[in-house]
Structure 1
Amino acid sequence: MSNPVPMAEIWRGPFLESVHSGHAVICDAAGNIVESWGDPDFMMLPRSSSKMIQALPLIESGAAAAAGIGTDQLALSCASHNSAAIHTDRVSAWLETLSLSESDLRCGSHDPKDTEAHHALIRAHEKPCQIHNNCSGKHTGFLTLNKHLGGGPEYNDPDHPVQMAVREAFEDVTGMDSPGFGIDGCSAPNFATTMHGFARAMAFFAAASEDGGSVRERAAAALVQAMTTYPELVAGEGRACTELMRAMDGRVALKTGAEAVFAAIIPELKLGVAVKIADGSFRASECAIAAILVKLGMLEPNHPATLKRMNAPITNCNGITTGYVRPAEGVF
C-alpha cells in the first residue's frame, strides 16, 4: 500500500503501543484537494461507504417516484443497518409494495447485529433471512430500479442494467473511469477509485441542492437529506454513523464501509471527506473521521459520541483504563 501515514495511535499508559496508518482526503466542490494525508492517488474500494452513489439511479431514473418511495426508504437504500425491527419491518413492507419477496433479494443472509433481533430469532427457533442482511435496504432499492427498468432477476451481475447505471453514476461523480470492481460482501459489484476520486464524489453530494441543478444533483441532495433525517436507519443504535450524525444535528451525512473506509458529506462547507485505514481497523477509521470532523468545526470534541471514538479510553476486564485510542499527530 503506497505511502500511508499514521492516522490513529494506541497508547497504553505512557507507551505508544500500536499505530494505524492510512489515507484521507478532504475535497471541495470544484474537485480540488483541500487537505490530504497519505496518498490521494491510492486506488481503493469504497465498499459500503459508496451506497449513496449506488442509490443515485434509483431516484434519477424515476423509479423512486414511480414506486412512491419515502424518505425513510431512501435512507435505507444507503444503509448498512443492524437488522433491528425498525430496519427489517421497513424492508419487508417495501418489498411487499413491489409485489416481491425475500427470495427476490440477492444479498445473502447473516445474523442480525441488533441484539434483540438476534435473541428473537433464537427464541422463535428461526434462522436469519436475506432481509436481515445489513445491505437489504440497498438491494431493495436495486429491485425497485430493476422493476422500473424491466431487467432480469440477477440484478447483481456487473453487466446488468442496474449495475451499469450504478457504474455510470460512480464514474461521473468520482470524475474518473473506474479500473474495475471487487465483489462486495452482499454480492454486488463495488467499483474502485482513488482516494481523491471518492472524496470528490462526497464533495459532489455536499454541494448538491434539491432546489436546482441537474437531475443527478437533486437526487444526491435527496439522499443526503434522507441520511441526516434518519441516522438510525443508516446504521443503528450504538453505531458510529448514527451516533456521530446525531451529535452534529443532521449537519453532516456519514457512511462507514468494510475494511475501515469512512466518508463524510458536509453540505454547509461543501466539502467531502474520504478515509481509508490500511489495516482495515474500524477503531482507527472511526477515530480518524471524528478527528477530521472536529478539525473542521463540525463535531464538538467533548460530545459523548466523539469521546467514544477520539481519545477513547481502553479499559481492561476490571474496568481499569489502561490506554487510549488517539488521532495521530497531524490528523488533529
Structure 2
Amino acid sequence: MIAATLYRGDVIENAHAAHVAVVDADGRLVHSLGDPYRVTLPRSAAKPAQALAVIETGALERFGFTDEDLALMCGSHSSEPRHIERARAMLAKAHASEDDLRCGGHPPISDAVYRDWIKRDFTPTAVCSNCSGKHAGMLAGARAMNAPLDGYHLPEHPLQTHVKRTLARALDLPDDAVQWAIDGCNLPTPAFALERLARLYMTIAAAPEGSPLARIHRAMTTHPELVAGEGRFCTLLMQAFGGALVGKTGADASYAIGVRPGQAAQRTLGIAVKVEDGNTSVLNAVVVHVLDLLGIGTQQQRDALAAYRNPATRNTMGVPTGRLDVNFTLHHHQQ
C-alpha cells in the first residue's frame, strides 16, 4: 500500500509502501494499512523485550542499574558523551570491560557528534555503538545467570536462549513462531508479524505498576534523551507526549508505539509501522500521520513533530526541490 509519495517539482520521483497495525488493549486489530501481518524485523524496536529478559535475570538489582541505565539498554543512542559515559559505567557495574563487547564501533547517528569526531580525528570503538547500552545489559545478564561472558552474543549462549523465550512470551507466541537473524550490532534479532509488535508495545503501555514492563515504560519515557538523543525523533516524540506515549525506532524503517489511556487517548493502544524500502524520513512522516489520523494527544503535542509531517526536500544550495506527500487512511476493523 503506497503511503507516501516523494515529488521533485511536480514529478513523482519515489513512491513508498508501508504497513501499519493498531491493536487495542485486548490485542485485537482495530486499524491497519497494507499487510498488518507482514513478517517484520523490528530491529531495535525489539530492544524493550530484550531488556525485559535482562531484568528477569536479576541483573539490574545485582549490579545497581538505574532507570537511566535501563533507558540506555532500550535505546539506539546518538553516541553523545553522556551515552558513552553511561555505557562505560554500566560495564564497570557489571564487572565487565569494553573488550568484552561484541558490537563494533560505527559512525554516529548524530550529525553533530560526527562533525565533532572528524574534528578530533576520533575513531569510535565498541562502546560508541548506538547499541552499547543493550550489549552492556546483556553482559550484566550473562554474569547474573553465572553464564560465561564470552560468546554472550551467540544464538546458542544461555543468555540468548533466555532472551528468545522471554520475547516469545511477551509476544504471546510459541518459541518456534519467532524467526531469528543477526542484527547490525551482532546480536540475534527477531522477526514476527507486525501486529505482534503492536501488541508488545500495547502490553508495555498497559503494564501494571511495579511490573518489569512498567519499569521499562517509566525508564524510556522519563529519560527519552537516553533512548535516542538530542533532536532525534524518539526523544522528541516522548518529550512531547510525556508519559502517555512510549516509542522506539528500528533500523530499516520500523517503528512501534504504546499509548496509555488518559489525555492522549481514550484507551490503550499499540501501534506498529514498517516502511518497505527502509526509508527513515518516510517512516517518521508516516508515524506522525498515523498519530494525526487516530487523534492521539492534543494538536499541540502532535505539532511538536510537525517538521516530520511533509518535509520539504532541498538540494546542496538549499533550494527547495520537492516535497514528501503522506496521504492515506487507515482501514477500520469491526469488532
Matched, 1:156 2:153: yes
RMSD: 2.0
Instruction: Select which of 215, 233, 240 maps to 1:247.
Output: 240
Q: Which residue of 1 aligns with 2:312?
A: 313
* Distance (Å, rounded) in 2 between the aligned partners of 1:91 and 1:250: 24
Structure 2 SS opposite 1:326: strand
Moved more, 220-229 or 159-168: 159-168
Matched, 1:174 2:167: no
Q: Which residue of 2 aligns with 1:113?
A: 109
Matched, 1:281 2:279: yes
**Post-superposition offset of 1:200:** 1.3
Instruction: Select which of 4, 19, 22 maps to 1:8.
Output: 4
Q: Which residue of 1 aligns with 2:190?
A: 191
Identity %: 36
Q: Which residue of 1 aligns with 2:254?
A: 261
Structure 1 SS opposite 2:308: coil
For residues 92-128 of structure 1, the C-alpha deviation after alignment (integer angstroms, 9 at most, x for no partner) is: 1111122211001111111333455445545555421
Change (3 A) 1:11 1:126: closer
For residues 198-244 of structure 1, the C-alpha deviation after alignment (integer angstroms, 9 at most, x for no partner) is: 11111111111224xxxxxx111111111111111101112111112
Change (3 A) 1:132 1:90: same
Matched, 1:87 2:83: yes
* Distance (Å, rounded) in 2 between the aligned partners of 1:155 and 1:195: 27
* Distance (Å, rounded) in 2 between the aligned partners of 1:265 and 1:188: 24
* Distance (Å, rounded) in 1 between the aligned partners of 2:306 and 2:8: 17
Unaligned 5+ runs, structure 1: 212-217
**Post-superposition offset of 1:313:** 2.1
Change (3 A) 1:119 1:20: closer
* Distance (Å, rounded) in 1 between the aligned partners of 2:99 and 2:13: 48
Q: Which residue of 1 aligns with 2:264?
A: none
Instruction: Select which of 117, 129, 132 maps to 1:133.
Output: 129
Change (3 A) 1:166 1:44: same
> How many residues matched?
322
* Distance (Å, rounded) in 2 between the aligned partners of 1:99 and 1:315: 48
Moved more, 317-326 or 235-244: 317-326
TM-score normalised according to structure 1 size: 0.90
Change (3 A) 1:125 1:42: closer
**Post-superposition offset of 1:192:** 1.2
* Distance (Å, rounded) in 1 between the aligned partners of 2:178 and 2:212: 25
Change (3 A) 1:115 1:306: closer
Moved more, 106-115 or 9-18: 9-18
For residues 231-283 of structure 1, the C-alpha deviation after alignment (integer angstroms, 9 at most, x for no partner) is: 11101112111112212223211111111101111122321111111111111
**Post-superposition offset of 1:41:** 1.9
Change (3 A) 1:304 1:207: closer
* Distance (Å, rounded) in 1 between the aligned partners of 2:112 and 2:96: 26
**Post-superposition offset of 1:147:** 0.7
Q: Is the 8 A contact 2:77 2:226 kept in 1?
A: yes
Unaligned 5+ runs, structure 2: 262-266
Q: Which residue of 2 aligns with 1:215?
A: none
* Distance (Å, rounded) in 2 between the aligned partners of 1:126 and 1:234: 23
Q: Is the 8 A contact 2:274 2:283 kept in 1?
A: yes
Q: Is the 8 A contact 2:168 2:178 kept in 1?
A: no
Structure 1 SS opposite 2:4: strand
TM-score normalised according to structure 2 size: 0.90
Question: Residue type of the partner of 2:35?
Answer: D
* Distance (Å, rounded) in 2 between the aligned partners of 1:312 and 1:71: 34
**Post-superposition offset of 1:137:** 0.2
**Post-superposition offset of 1:18:** 2.4
Change (3 A) 1:63 1:245: same
Q: Is the 8 A contact 2:247 2:257 kept in 1?
A: yes
Q: Is the 8 A contact 2:293 2:329 kept in 1?
A: no
Q: Is the 8 A contact 2:313 2:320 kept in 1?
A: yes
* Distance (Å, rounded) in 2 between the aligned partners of 1:49 and 1:90: 21
Moved more, 171-180 or 236-245: 171-180
Moved more, 156-165 or 222-231: 156-165
Matched, 1:62 2:58: yes
**Post-superposition offset of 1:305:** 4.0
Question: Residue type of the partner of 2:101?
Answer: L
Correspondence 1:222-237 to 2 at 5 A:
222-237=215-230
Structure 2 SS opposite 1:249: helix
